[in-house]
């Protein structure tokens, strides 16, 4: 999976992700505006530092950072260091710094929107002799291999209660998130992904190419992905909120309610604009789609997540397929 996604001929080195799938960033500018609002809250809590960071992991074309920069007030934009992290940095976005790794000493906001699902993981199959790692070649042919290492067995024991069929070892995602949060000195880190919790664990490994679900052959021709165990990712000892995108965006002011019909008569143009915005908000907060994505929020320093608490409990598993171009 590592080689298929990030090797010399890997999917993310030779393809533009936005040509293959549609995320919340592409669904509506309201997503970037909502995160800009969160960034402003963090900025105020941190005392408006001379340098305010916003870091986008797996930034794709950089549209999210551009949307955030355009949405924040001029005073915030002047102090903003916007860092787009990608395996193949693109450039070409005004005010955006491109990098292959996030900087250290981040003060502000870190966003990992559909990043953790592409952190490679191992698959095991439960056999009469116990769990065995599944080995696969570039053509997709599988065979059982050795038993998992002790740390992986411990992860399965804690986080994957079903002892039949197959399981996806999420320990690599836990470590990736811990590494990322470790680069945050003060502020908030947000992971947004299609996810499951310990009550709804199930195998989800899938492949995608040009908006279509395909067999997840690890030859570099397709995206290889799996749902994220966000509950296991949370770094202990930090203020933590685990909720859904629907609830988090509602707290941030994204409202999918239709505008009052009276507005159509008093301000027809304003009514059309408000109606369009409501449609976009409805898509972002649809509990059966993007709104069902999980949000893992963790804070460091003088920042509070209090108003996000109790907003929706564990994320709802939105199903086996990511939001693709075909389904848009």
**pLDDT for residue 323:** 43
Domain range enclosing 26: 2-121+170-257+287-308
**Contact (Cβ atoms closer than 8 angstroms) between residue 267 and residue 230:** no
| CA distance from start to end of the chain | 27
**Residues in Cβ contact with 118 at an 8 Å cutoff, skipping those fewer than 6 apart:** 5, 12, 58, 223, 224, 225
Do 76 and 51 lie in one domain? The reply is yes
Do 13 and 112 lie in one domain? The reply is yes
3-class state of residue 117 by DSSP: helix
Do 96 and 128 lie in one domain? The reply is no
**Contact (Cβ atoms closer than 8 angstroms) between residue 244 and residue 315:** yes
Q: Is residue 313 part of a domain?
A: no
Is the pLDDT score of 311 beyond 80? no
Do 209 and 252 lie in one domain? The reply is yes
- Gyration radius (Cα) of the chain, Å: 20
Enter the pTM of the model: 0.89
**pLDDT for residue 210:** 87
Q: How far apart are CA 102 and CA 89, in angstroms?
A: 12
Give the count of domains, the chain: 2
Do 42 and 113 lie in one domain? The reply is yes
Is the pLDDT score of 324 beyond 80? no
Q: What are the pLDDT digits (tens) for 201-251?
A: 999 999 999 888 999 999 999 999 999 999 999 999 999 999 999 999 999
Q: How far apart are CA 84 and CA 66, in angstroms?
A: 10
Q: What are the pLDDT digits (tens) for 247-299?
A: 999 999 998 677 566 665 676 676 566 556 766 788 899 899 999 999 999 99
Do 135 and 11 lie in one domain? The reply is no
pLDDT band at residue 27, thresholds of 50, 70 and 90?
confident
Is the pLDDT score of 52 beyond 60? yes
On the CB side of 138, CA atoms within 13 Å amount to 10
Tell me the mean pLDDT in the region 73-88.
Answer: 95
Say how far residue 166 (Cα) sits from the centre of its chain.
Answer: 24
Q: Is residue 231 part of a domain?
A: yes
pLDDT band at residue 327, thresholds of 50, 70 and 90?
very low
């Amino acid at each position: 999976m590592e080689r298929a996604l990030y090797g010399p001929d890997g999917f993310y080195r030779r393809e533009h992700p936005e040509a293959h799938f549609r995320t919340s960033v592409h669904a509506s500018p309201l997503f970037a505006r909502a995160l800009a609002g969160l960034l402003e809250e963090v900025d105020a809590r941190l005392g408006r530092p001379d340098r305010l960071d916003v870091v986008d992991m797996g930034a794709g074309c950089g549209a999210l950072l551009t949307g955030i920069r355009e949405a924040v007030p001029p005073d915030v934009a002047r102090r903003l260091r916007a860092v787009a992290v990608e395996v193949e940095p693109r450039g070409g976005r005004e005010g955006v710094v491109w990098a292959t790794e996030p900087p250290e000493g981040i003060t502000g906001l870190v966003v990992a929107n559909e990043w953790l699902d592409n952190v490679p993981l191992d698959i095991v199959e439960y056999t009469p002799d116990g769990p065995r790692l599944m080995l696969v070649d570039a053509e997709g042919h599988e065979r059982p291999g050795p038993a998992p290492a002790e740390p992986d067995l411990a992860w399965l024991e804690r986080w994957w209660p079903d002892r039949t069929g197959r399981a996806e070892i999420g320990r690599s995602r836990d470590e990736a998130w811990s590494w990322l949060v470790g680069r945050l000195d003060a502020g908030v880190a947000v992971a947004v992904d299609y996810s499951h919790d310990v009550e709804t664990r199930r195998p989800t490994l899938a492949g995608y190419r040009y908006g279509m679900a395909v067999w997840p052959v690890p030859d570099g021709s397709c995206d290889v992905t799996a749902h994220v165990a966000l509950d296991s990712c949370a770094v202990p000892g930090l203020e933590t909120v685990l909720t859904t995108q629907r609830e988090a965006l509602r707290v941030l002011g994204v409202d999918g309610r239709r505008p009052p019909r009276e507005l159509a008569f008093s301000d027809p143009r304003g009514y059309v604009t408000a109606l369009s915005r409501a449609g976009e908000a409805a898509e972002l907060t649809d509990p059966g789609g993007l709104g069902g994505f999980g949000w893992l929020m963790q804070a460091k320093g003088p920042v509070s997540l209090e108003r996000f608490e109790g907003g929706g409990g564990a994320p709802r598993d939105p199903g086996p397929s990511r939001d693709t171009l075909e389904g848009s």
